[in-house]
Amino acid sequence: MHSFVYTRASGLRQALDAARRGGRYLAGGTTLVDLMRETVERPAVLVDIAGLPLRDVTLTADGTLRIGALARMAEAAAHPGIRAAHPVVCEALELSASPQLRTVATIGGNLMQRTRCPYFRDVTAACNKREPGSGCPAREGVHRTHAILGTSRQCVATHPSDLAVALAALDADVRVLGPGGERAVPLTAFLLPPGDTPHREHALGPGELITAVDIPPHPRPLRSGYLKVRDRRSLEFALTSAAVALHIRGGVIREAKLAAGGVGTVPWRLPAVERRLIGERPSNRLWSQAAARAADGARPLPGNRFKTELLKRTVERQLRVVGGGR
């Protein structure tokens, strides 16, 4: 690990000021410290923000559920308000990492976590994300766990977050504070697909800080849930996952919101599946027909071709779990 200066921010203004001068925010640190030890990350100055007052979960006047960026994953997962309104969020959180990591890791940090691509984490390997222009060994190398959607010639790494998949399905916004004030960015625009600039992973400007995640009000009742498919039962990243939220009234699906994880370079919304569901009556046949569209546009590599079929089955199963089997 390279040496760094450590500072503790006593307030938001001080944190922004330190970051503007080149400091790097440290929240839970469960990704950053790990990558610093591997010398993938080499910040000169860490600005510890874990003590800032951004930890509350609140309901705003218009019914938006606001989760403070520094709420710990374990706290958010156990929050009765989140659980009642959006079980998909709590399930995604509790299927992430381990209890010890969720104690420390934060909601904002979870969105900012970096890919688990082994080439990215190995400083002796080429990686366009870590060293732009150096190449991507994953295409020709080991890529069984890599993305099949949203890939580019430069990068096929997945975004590893489960939470982000649930939030993408729920049309969440990321609230961002910077020198110019606060703004809201849709999560699906906050995380950037690699394109020709895989080192640019998010929409934060220099020194900007995530303050909260906003989940807008949805029609009720909204049933939701998260399914994660992986090589082992726990403490593992997703091969595929599905976040499903359905608003069913009068026996008809009025709203369908779906996103997939483990398959995209960013959390992957499934508009073709959603369109197939809306206006229809729940049935096993419908789930199967809709899920058949889940991998539309997929461009798998030889080693992760299985993900195309696995994704369809993951979506179909979770549609049945959330929407009911008939």
Partner 1 sequence: MPCERPSTDSASVRPNRPEALSGPASRRVFLAATSAVGGVLAAGPAAAEAAPLNMEWAASAPEPSTCVTLTVNGERHTLTMDNRTSLLDLLREHLGLTGAKKGCDAGACGACTVLVDGRRVVSCLMLAVRLEGAEITTVEGLERGGRLHPLQQAFIDQDAFQCGFCTPGQIMSALGCVQEAHTGCAEEIREWMSGNLCRCGCYPNIVRAVEQAARGW
**Considering only residues 82-101, where is the footprint of partner 1 by CB under 8 A?**
97-101
CB-CB neighbours of 203 under 10 Å: 16
The answer to whether 76 and 143 are in contact (CB under 8 A) is no
In this structure, the chain runs to a length of: 326
Q: Please tell me whether residue 118 binds partner 1 under the rule CB under 8 A.
A: no
Contact status, residue 297 vs residue 321, Cβ threshold 8 Å: no
Instruction: Give every CB contact of residue 84 below 8 A, 6+ residues apart in sequence.
Output: none
Structure tokens at 189: 């625009």
32 or 270: whose CB is closer to partner 1?
A: 32
Q: Identify whether the C-beta of residue 241 lies closer than 8 Å to the C-beta of residue 298.
A: no
Binding positions for partner 1, 55-84, rule CB under 8 A: none
List the end-to-end C-alpha distance of the chain, in Å, as a whole number: 56
**10 touching partner 1, by CB under 8 A:** no
What b-and-e string marks burial along 131-155, b requiring 16 or more CB atoms within 10 Å of the CB? eeeeebbbbeeebebbbbbbbbebb
Angle among Cα 302, 35, 173 to the nearest 5 degrees reads 80
Nearer to partner 1, 31 or 154 (CB): 31
- Of the residues 14, 29, 186, 272, which one makes contact with partner 1 according to CB under 8 A: 29
Beta-carbon-side half-sphere exposure of residue 22 (alpha carbons within 13 Å): 6
> Using CB under 8 A, which of 15, 47, 50, 70 touches partner 1?
50
Q: How far is the CB of 120 from partner 1 (least distance, A)?
A: 14
Task: Tell me which residues in 234-253 interact with partner 1 (CB under 8 A).
Answer: 234-235
Nearer to partner 1, 123 or 203 (CB): 123
Among 14, 64, 103, 197, binds partner 1 (CB under 8 A): 103
> Which stretch in 46-54, 171-179, 257-265, 271-279 sits in contact with partner 1 by CB under 8 A?
46-54
> How many residues form the binding site for partner 1 (CB under 8 A)?
30
Residues that bind partner 1 (CB under 8 A): 1-6, 8, 21-22, 26, 29-30, 33-34, 37, 44-46, 48, 50, 97-101, 103-104, 233-235
